[in-house]
Amino acid sequence: MSKVHNFSAGPGILPLEVLKQSADACINFDNMNLSLLEISHRSKNYEAVMDESRSLVKELFEVGDDYEVLYLGGGASMQFAMVPYNLLTEAGHAAYVNTGVWASKAIKEAKIVGNTKVIASSEDKNFNYIPKGYEIPKNADYLHITSNNTIYGTQMKSFPKTDIPMVCDMSSDIFSRKINAKDFSLIYAGAQKNMGPAGSTMIMVKKDVLGKTGRKMLSMLDYNVHIKGGSMYNTPPVFPIYVTMLTLRWLKQHGGVAWIEKINQQKADLLYNEIDRNSQFVGTTAKEDRSNMNACFLLNKPEHEAEFDKLWKSANIDGIRGHRDVGGYRASMYNALPLESVQALVDVMKAFEQKFA
Ligand SMILES: *Cc1c(COP(=O)(O)O)cnc(C)c1O
């Protein structure tokens, strides 16, 4: 396999050893001489996969049995609806911070479920920074934030302090850095950015926030129903969960979040230093809020785009084209992306400067 430097924003890069093991399991899972894709999710062998996938999340987040872990279908977008449906009371209200496209979509769903207030927003500057210094209502049912804004390339470097339950969409930076997970009542993440393939979404929820809405709940949208069913109330996305388990195992075996955080910082420093140094590029976000996962940048002279594109393509780089809403370039540096790939991009940027400065 020729080496492609994969900067895709999502679904994103996975460790090669995980891909190989996953491929093997499609033919012969656990030496059963059966494919993982053709056995019952209730089989002993698959139950072990589900158990390990759930317990690895708690282990990596360092939380106890007051939390439950679920893997559900429907993507992170389904959680935009399930979160308010399960946490927002008839008489109460929810507080949201709007930091981009995904947060806006979460707000849209919450407004349909109940009283929803946007307490801070960075929409005034096309979401190129993280709002700070806003007041969090003490009586809201919960606060909803987005830790990393995949499209705009901003990231919360610290989290709000509040006594109300805090809910976070961590789809694009989960397990990329040390956080204090116990500060959150609910964390969710679509797996396909930083923890596995598309098709399953991880939800980690503190049990004490559930069951308070008074709402008559649809079963499939009720976290408690899924908790009671051990995340197998219905057939779970068996293969995505398996690949996620392997990815989390890979992370743990190499030294966990503390290990990857250092590498992620090295990658981000390498690229942002070049964006700032190089006369041909400019970053698009406030420096203090720059995402270590998704780096967005523009060419100073957009008329040279075709030449730049030719250079990075010939260096086996893929996936750095910016989101259609932002334009320019976006290099996503998820956990599985090696430092060498960032170096390859930086080398191309230097060569480009040589040619056009
Ligand atoms: C990609 C993404 C989503 C949407 O995920 P789906 O699984 O496609 O629904 C939500 N939030 C964030 C932060 C994302 O990066």
- Regarding the beta carbon of 190 and ligand 1, being less than 6 Å apart is answered yes
Cβ within 8 Å of residue 308, ≥6 positions away: 299, 348, 352
Q: Which protein residue's CA is at the shortest distance from atom 8 of ligand 1? A: 75
Alpha-carbon span 13 to 152, nearest angstrom = 19
pLDDT band at 272 (very low <50, low <70, confident <90, very high): very high
Cβ within 8 Å of residue 250, ≥6 positions away: 15, 17, 18
- Taking the CA of residue 78 as reference, the ligand 1 atom at the shortest distance is 9
- Distance between Cα 152 and ligand 1 center (Å): 13
- Taking the CA of residue 198 as reference, the ligand 1 atom at the shortest distance is 7
- Regarding the beta carbon of 173 and ligand 1, being less than 6 Å apart is answered no
pLDDT band at 356 (very low <50, low <70, confident <90, very high): confident
> Mean pLDDT, to the nearest integer, of 185-203?
98
- Distance between Cα 303 and ligand 1 center (Å): 32
CATH number for the region 256-356 comes to 3.90.1150.10
CATH fold for domain 16-253: Aspartate Aminotransferase; domain 2 (3.40.640)
Indicate if the pLDDT at residue 219 is higher than 70: yes
Q: Where in the chain is the domain with CATH 3.90.1150.10?
A: 256-356
- Mean pLDDT, the chain, rounded, equals 97
What token pair was written down for 46? 């698959």
Residue 163 known to be catalytic = no
In terms of Cα–Cα distance, which of 71, 88, 80 is closest to 227?
71
- Regarding the beta carbon of 100 and ligand 1, being less than 6 Å apart is answered no
Q: Which protein residue's CA is at the shortest distance from atom 3 of ligand 1? A: 76
Q: What is the pLDDT of residue 2?
A: 55
Residue 169 known to be catalytic = yes
The count of other CB atoms within 10 Å of the CB of residue 52 is 17
Annotated catalytic residue: which of 141, 193, 289, 312?
193
According to DSSP, the residues that pair with 204 across neighbouring strands are 69, 187
pLDDT in tens, 77-129: 999 999 999 999 999 999 999 999 999 999 999 999 999 999 999 999 999 99
Q: Where in the chain is the domain with CATH 3.40.640.10?
A: 16-253
Q: Percentage of residues in the chain with pLDDT exceeding 70?
A: 99
pLDDT band at 323 (very low <50, low <70, confident <90, very high): confident
Strand extents, DSSP E, the chain: 5-6, 67-72, 93-98, 115-121, 142-146, 148-149, 154-155, 166-169, 186-190, 201-206, 281-283, 294-299, 317-318, 329-332
- Distance between Cα 237 and ligand 1 center (Å): 17
Residue 178 known to be catalytic = no
Q: What is the pLDDT of residue 352?
A: 98
Cβ within 8 Å of residue 172, ≥6 positions away: 9, 10, 148, 149, 150, 189, 193, 194, 293, 294, 332, 334
- Regarding the beta carbon of 102 and ligand 1, being less than 6 Å apart is answered yes
One-letter amino acid for residue 74 of the chain:
G
